[in-house]
Amino acid sequence: MAASQNFRDLQWVLQVIKSGNISLHSISFFLSQPTSGCHQETENSMNVNISKDSILYFSQLLTALATAKDSQESLRNLEFHFVEWEVQQLRNLGMLLENNLNIKQLVFRRNRLNAEGLWELSEILKRNGVIKEIMFSESAIGAAGAGLLASALKVNDSLEELQIWEDSIGSKGAEELSKMIEVNCTLKLLTIFDSNSITATPLISAVLARNRTMEVHIWSGENGEKSSKVVEFVPENSTLRIYRLDISGACRVACALGWNSTVKSLDLTGVRLKSRWAKEFRFVLEQNHSLKEVTLSKTRLKDKGVVYVAAGLFKNQSLETLYLDGNWFTGIGVEHLFCPLSRFSALRYQANVTLKSVTFGGGRTKIGRDGLAAILQMLTTNQTVTRLGIQDDESLRQEDFVKIFRSLERNATLRHLSLQGCKGVGGELVLQTIMQTLQVNPWIEDIDLSRTPLQNSGKTDGIYQKLGQNGRTEPEIDLLKDMPLTVPKSCRVFFCGQEYAGKTTLCNSISQNLSYSKLPYMDQVRTLVNPVEQAVRTAGMKVKTFKDEDTKISIWNLAGQHEFYSLHDLMFPGHGSPSFFLIVSSLFRKPTNRESKTSAEIEEDLQYWLRFIASNSRRAAQQCMLPNVTVVLTHYDKINQPSQEFQAAVNSIQRLRDKFQGFVDFYPTVFTVDARSSASVSKLTHHLRKTSKTILQRVPRVFELCNDLIQILSDWRSENYNKPAMKWKEFDELCQVKVPSLRIRSRHDNKDKVVMRRRAIANCLHHIGEVIYFNELGFLILDCEWFCGEVLGQLIRLDARKQSTTENGFISRKELEKILRGSLQSQIPGMGSKVFENLDASDLVRMMLKLELCYEQDPSDPNSLLLIPSILEEGRGRTQRWQLIAPDCVYAGRHLHCDDSSHLFLTPGFFPRLQVHLHNRIMGLKIHGATYSLEKYLILININGIHVRIELGGQLGHYIDILACSTKNLTETLRLFQQLIIPAIQGLCHGITLHESIIRPESVRNLIPPRYRKAQFVPVQVLKQALLSVPAEGMYDYQHTWCSVSDSGRPILQAGFDFARDLLSDDDFREVLHRRYHDLYNLAVELQVSPEANPDGLDNPATGMEEQDKVEATFGGIAKGVEAVLQRLKIIEQEIRDLKQEIQGLRYYEHRLLLELHRKVNYLVNYNVQVEERKVPNMFYFVTTENYSRRLVTNIIPGMAALRLHMLCEFRREMHVVEDQVGCEMMQIDNSTVKSLAPYMKKFMTLVTFALKIGAHLAAGMGQMIPDLSREVAHLVEPSLMYGAAGAVAAGAVGAAAVSQVAGSSSRNRSRTLGGESSRDFQQHQRAAQQWIVDFLRDRRCSTGREIAEKFGLWRVRYRDSGQIAWICRRHINTRSHEIIEVPI
C-alpha cells in the first residue's frame, strides 16, 4: 500500500511536468532514498526523492523535463544527490541540457561516475553552450575525471565557474586543469578543495602566466589536519595571497609572475622562503611592471635572499611598497637593500625612484654597524621614500637612533617613520634629538613610537605636539623684511689688460706683499704651488683671494687673450656689487724686448677697457656709483729715464680721464710699477686695500645673512671634498638645516615664497662675487676660478675646428662632454682629484645652454648638435651674394649704431649672445621652413621667403647692419625687423641706445662691403622730419638723394635717389601722416573760437559769409561749424584705402587751415591802422647769436642780454624772414619790456612754430633758427593739446573742422580767444606790444622810412585793392609792383 502511494507521488510529479501546470526554476534529485516522493519547497523549486525501487522514474523524469515546453522555458538549476550514474541516464541528461537552453547551474553532490560516465559527461559539456556553473562535491572524480573535465572545458566557451570540493584530483589532475586554463579564457571562478596542497601550484601558475582574470581559491586539509586555504587570488583588487606552499611551488609561482600584469599586490606572509626563491623573484622584479606592493614578512629570508631582492630593485620601476619585517638577515642584507635607494656621489643617480615605503626589522634582524651606515646614507640622499619602518629591533642603540634622526634633518621626502617596539628608542638624548629634527624638518607627518621605551615612559607627548604644530598653517610673514643689514665684507678687484701686460705677475706680487700669517694654511699651500700649476694649466681667467683684517679681497684676473673677450661680459659685476677695476698696460709691446709702445698704442689699450667698463656699467641697471678705475703701467723698470714718449702717454691718459668723466670714476694717480717686485707694488697694494674699504662703505648694504652664508658655504665645501659647485637642492637643504631665518617651518608653509627668499640671498651672494648663480641654472658655482679659468677657458680655447665632428661651429654633445670631462680632471696628481666625482660634464652642458654660451641645433632632438659661437669661423674673405635672385625682390636695410660710440660699444660678448638668443627666439616661434646659420660676425636667417643678414660692424663693434632680400613687400619685410630682430638686439644691449637708420637699397642689393656703406644711410627720424617739412601734396613723391661711392677713382655706386615711400614701411609712412594731422590740429586749436559764442552760426551760414571780412583782432579769430566738417573728415578717413588717398585728405585739411592762418596773420599785420598810421612794422621777433648761428627767442625773461630785434616782411600770405637784415641790438631785457611783450611773444611764436612744423610758408626762413621744434612746441603748447600718433587722425579732424567753419563766424563769436582770454585783454596786449615797438624804434633813432629801410630792409606800401598799409621787402616791391603803391614817411 505504501509502495503504491510512493508511485503515485512520482506519477503525480511526472504528470505535473508533462502538463506544464507548474513553473519550476530549480529541481533537486535525491536518489537511494528510503521512500520515493516529492516535496515542493517553494512555488518554483521542488525536491524529488527516488528510492532504489523507483529508479526507472529517474530516467522518465529527465525525459519529461527534456520534452516539456514549459519546463524548457523556466528551468534554471539542476541538483543531483547520491546518484550512481548509468550511461543511459547521462544520455537523458544530455538530451535535457540540449533541449533546455536556460539551465545555468549543475550541482553534483556525492555522485558516482565511472570512466564511461565521466566521458559521457565531458561530451555533454563540449556540446553545451549555456551552462555557467558546475560544482562537484565529494563525487570522487579523481585525476581521470579532472582530465576529462579539462578536455571538455578546452572546448566549452560558456562555463564561468568550476568548483571541486572534498576531492583529490592529485597533481596529475591539477596539471590537466592548468592546461585547460591556458586555453580557456571564459572561466571566472575556480575553487578547489583538495586533500593535498600540491594541487595549488600548477593551477595558480597557469592563471598568473596567462594573465587570467580568474578568481582562484584553493584549500587543502592534509593528514587529517584542519582544512586551511593555500592560495587566494582576487582579480577585483589584484591581490595574490599565498598561505602555504612548498619551496618548489613558490619558485614556480615566482616564475609565472615575471610577465604577469594582473597582480598588483603579492602577500607571502609566513611562507617559508629560501634564497632559491629569492633568486627567481629577482627576475620578477626586473621584468614585472605591475607589482605595486610585496609583503615578505616572517618568511625567514636571510642575507642572501635579501641581496637577490635588492638586486631586483635596481631595475624595477613599479614597486611602491615592500615589507621585509620578521626576517633573519643582518647588516649585510640591510646594506644591499638600501643600495638602490641611495646615491653615493653627486654624479650618480638613485637607481630606484618608485619605491615609496620600506619596512623591515624584527627580533632576529641584526642591523649592525654596516646596516646603520646604509640607513643613514639612504635617509641623507634618497628623494623618493615617504615611509620607513624599523620594527621590533633589538640591535640598534640609543646613539644609533640619534644618528638616524639627525640624518632626517636633510631629508625632505620622508613623511612617516615607524619605530614600533624598537628597544633603543628611549632616553633623554633621543628625545632631544627628535625635537631638534622636527624643528628643522617640518615635512615629517607621523612618527610611530608605540611599544618603545620612550612611549612606555610617557615622554612622547611633546613629540606629537610638535608634529601637530608642523601641520598647522603658519601666518604669512616676510622673512627678509626688517632683517639687519651690514656692510659687505668681500670686494672684487678686476685686473683688465691686454696679453703680456703683466697682470698675473702683478697679482702674484701683491699676494706676496701680504703677510703669510694672515692667510689660512691651505691658501698658503695654494700660493706656493701656484707657479707649478701655471706651468701646466692653459691660460685663462684666474681668481686669487686673500684676507685683509676682516675684509676679503678677490682679484679677478681677466684673460687678456682676444679669444676670452666674449666671456668678460659674463663676469662683469652687477648692480651694487662691491668692486673696482685696475687697467694694466705694459709700456712695452712684448716683455722679451725693449720696443716701447707709442702713446697712441697705450691710449688704444686703455680706451678699449674704459669703453668695456662704461658699456657694461650701462647694462648693469641702477648703478649706485660710477665704476672705480685705476690705471697701472707695468715694466717701468725697463725705462732708464723718462722720455718724451712716456710724457705723451701720461698726457693721453689725462685726455682719457677728461673724456670719460661721468662714465667712470678715474683715480687721479697713475701707478708705474715693476710687476715682479713686491717693493715696487707696495704703494699699489696699499691703494688696493684702501680702495676696497672705501668701496665697501659706499655700496648698498647687504643682509647680515649673506656674510653668515659665506662661512657656511666654506664649511660645506670642506665637508664635501672641496666640491666646486653645489646643486640648488643641496643649497635648499643647507638653508633648511643651518639658516633658521630661511627655514620652512611648517609643511603647509608657502614653499614658493621661501624658495624666492633663498634665491634672493643667492643673487646677493652672486652680486658680491662669492658665488656664480643664475636663476635657471640649477647650480651655485662655489669655485669661481675653476669655472672661469678651467671650464669657460676650455670652451674658448677649443681646437674643435680640426675635429671631424665639428662643422661651422657645431659639435656633437658627446664630443663636447668629452672635452669638458678632460678639463675637469686636474693634471697634477692629488690636486682636485674629487672634482670630477662631484660634477658631470653633462651638467656643464646644461649650464652652458642656460647661460646661452651654446645652443641646440634642434631642441626636440636629445642628440642634437650644439653650436658654440666662440669657435665659429670668420667668413669676411668670402664672396658675399644673395641666395635669392629674382627681378621682383625687395631689398631693405637698417643700420643700428650706438648713440655715443666714442664712450660705448657693443661688447665682444654681445654678438655671440645675440646669435644664441635670436636662434632660441626663432626656434621658439616654430616657423615652418625657417633656417638659421652663422659665421663669426654674421647671422643668416631665412623666414617665409625673407632672407636676412645681420652683420656686426665697426672697429670695436659699435653698429649692426640688418640687410634683407625678400619676396614679400617692404612693409612685411620691415615688420620682421621691427617685431623680431630689432627687439632681440635691443633686449641684449641694456643701457646702450641704438639709433636706427635706413640703408640705401642699392647697396643692399649689391652687398657692397661695410666700409662703402658709411655714407649710404639716412636716420629714420631725419627722413620722417623731412617729410613733415614739405607740403602735403609733396609727401608721397618726396625723394631722398644718395651720393656716389668710389674707391681710388673706381665707382662703387652711382649717385641716385629713392622715394621716401620705398624706404619707409606703410606703418612708418602713416605715422608721419598722423604726426602731420597732430600738428595741424594743434595749430587749429590756436585759431579756434569757442562754439558757445555763436549758437546760431550753424543755422545761418550766409550771414557768416557776409561777415567774413569783419574778422576780430585776435590770433584765434576762427569761425564755427566744427561738427559739420568733423563729420566730413570722418567720412574721408573711412574712405581711405592707401597712402595716396590719405594724403589727399590731408591736403584738403591743410589747405583750408593754411588759408585761414594766412588771412588771420594778414589781418594781424594791419591791425589798428590808427596807431600812428602804421608808421612802423608790426611783425617783429628776437634772435640770439650762438656759435655763428642765429637762434629764435620764443620766450623772454628779465635780464636777458645780447638780443637783436628783427622784422618780418609783411606781404600778405608770403610773410618771411628778410635775409641780411641788420636789425637793432638790445642790451638787456627789463621788467617793463617783458610786461609789454610777453603775451605777444607767446601767441605769435606759437603760431610760427606750428606753421614751421607743418611746412607752411608763414615767416619763411625761421625754421633754420629753431633747431629743435619739438622742444619749442613742448613749452609753447598746453600739455592737454599734445596727443600721440594713435590719436593724431582724430585730433587732426577736430582742427580741420575748426578751420572750415571760418565762414560761419559772426560778431557774437568774438568775445573769447585762445585759452579763454577775452578780446578786450588781447586788444590791450596788442596795443602794448605795438606801442613798445614805436617807442623802441624812436629811442634807437629809427623812426623814418629811410632809417627803417636801412636797418630792416622794409618799405612802407599800400595795397591797391584794400588800401591797407604793410611793410614789405625790396623783392616784393619789384615783383608785386602792380598790387602796391609806395607810401614813404
pLDDT in tens, 1290-1311: 233 333 333 333 333 333 343 3
Q: Nearest Cα to 659, choosing from 602, 586, 610, 622?
A: 610
List, in sequence order, every residue forming a beta bridge with 267; answer none if it has no partner.
241, 295
CA 340 – CA 349 distance, rounded (Å): 9
User: In Å, how far from its chain's centre is CA 600?
Assistant: 46
End-to-end CA distance of the chain: 174
CA 257 – CA 219 distance, rounded (Å): 21
Query: Which are the contacts of 478, defined by CB distance < 8 A and separation ≥ 6?
Result: none
- Least confidently predicted of 769-773, 829-833, 863-867, 1222-1226: 829-833
Q: Which residue type occupies 674? A: D
- Least confidently predicted of 103-117, 1059-1073, 1195-1209, 1246-1260: 1246-1260
Q: Nearest Cα to 1319, choosing from 1304, 1328, 1309?
A: 1309
Q: Extract the runs of DSSP E, i.e. beta strands, from 239-336.
A: 239-242, 265-267, 293-295, 321-325
Q: What's the chain's Rg over C-alpha atoms?
A: 51
1258 band by pLDDT with thresholds 50, 70 and 90: very low
pLDDT in tens, 910-929: 787 788 788 888 877 777 77
Model pLDDT, residue 203: 92
CA 1138 – CA 423 distance, rounded (Å): 92
1247 band by pLDDT with thresholds 50, 70 and 90: low
Q: Nearest Cα to 1257, choosing from 1346, 1169, 1151?
A: 1151
Model pLDDT, residue 1334: 83
- For residue 1250, pLDDT beyond 70: no
Q: Give just the sign of the alpha carbon dihedral 303, 308, 309, 314.
A: positive
Angle formed at CA 1004 by CA 1000 and CA 1005, multiple of 5 degrees: 115
Of all residues in the chain, the percent with pLDDT exceeding 90 is: 24
Whether the Cβ atoms of residue 1133 and residue 1276 lie closer than 8 Å to each other: no
CA 782 – CA 761 distance, rounded (Å): 14
Phi, psi for residue 920 in degrees, rounded to 5: -65, -35
Q: Give just the sign of the alpha carbon dihedral 1003, 1006, 1011, 1012.
A: negative
DSSP, residue by residue, 760-807: HHHHHHHHTTS-EE-TTT-EEE--HHIIIIIIIHHHHT--GGGSTT-B
pLDDT in tens, 945-960: 899 999 888 656 678 9
CA 25 – CA 4 distance, rounded (Å): 28
Of all residues in the chain, the percent with pLDDT exceeding 70 is: 76
Model pLDDT, residue 1245: 66
Sheet of 1355-1359: strand order equals 1365-1368, 1355-1359, 1380-1382
Model pLDDT, residue 1152: 60
Higher pLDDT, 1284 or 1127: 1127
- Least confidently predicted of 384-398, 614-628, 700-714, 1193-1207: 614-628
- For residue 1135, pLDDT beyond 50: no
Q: Do the strands 239-242 and 810-811 form a parallel or antiparallel pair, or are they unpaired? A: unpaired
Query: Which are the contacts of 1168, defined by CB distance < 8 A and separation ≥ 6?
Result: 1113, 1326, 1327, 1330
Query: With the CA atoms of 143, 146, 150 and 156 taken in that order, what torsion angle do they form, in degrees rounded to the nearest 10?
Result: 160
Highest-confidence segment of 150-154, 723-727, 1028-1032, 1158-1162: 150-154
Overall average pLDDT of the 673-681 stretch: 86
Higher pLDDT, 823 or 52: 52
Q: Do the strands 1180-1186 and 1201-1209 form a parallel or antiparallel pair, or are they unpaired? A: antiparallel
pLDDT in tens, 111-159: 999 999 999 999 999 999 899 999 999 998 999 999 999 999 999 999 9
CA 694 – CA 1255 distance, rounded (Å): 57
- Report how many helices (DSSP H) and strands (DSSP E) the chain contains, helices first: 46, 52
- Residue showing cell 718724451: 644
Whether the Cβ atoms of residue 738 and residue 410 lie closer than 8 Å to each other: no
Query: Which are the contacts of 580, defined by CB distance < 8 A and separation ≥ 6?
Result: 491, 492, 493, 494, 627, 628, 629, 630, 691, 692, 695
CA 563 – CA 697 distance, rounded (Å): 36
137 CB-side CA count, 13 A: 9
Query: Which are the contacts of 210, defined by CB distance < 8 A and separation ≥ 6?
Result: 181, 182, 185
pLDDT in tens, 686-699: 899 899 888 888 88
Q: What's the predicted TM-score (pTM) here?
A: 0.57
List, in sequence order, every residue forming a beta bridge with 485; answer none if it has no partner.
703
pLDDT in tens, 317-373: 999 999 999 999 999 999 999 999 998 876 678 899 999 999 999 988 999 899 999
Higher pLDDT, 872 or 680: 680
> CA of 48: how far to CAs of 52, 61, 104, 1269, in Å?
13, 10, 19, 121
CA 894 – CA 567 distance, rounded (Å): 28
Secondary structure element (H or E) that encloses residue 221, with its range: none
Whether the Cβ atoms of residue 686 and residue 514 lie closer than 8 Å to each other: no
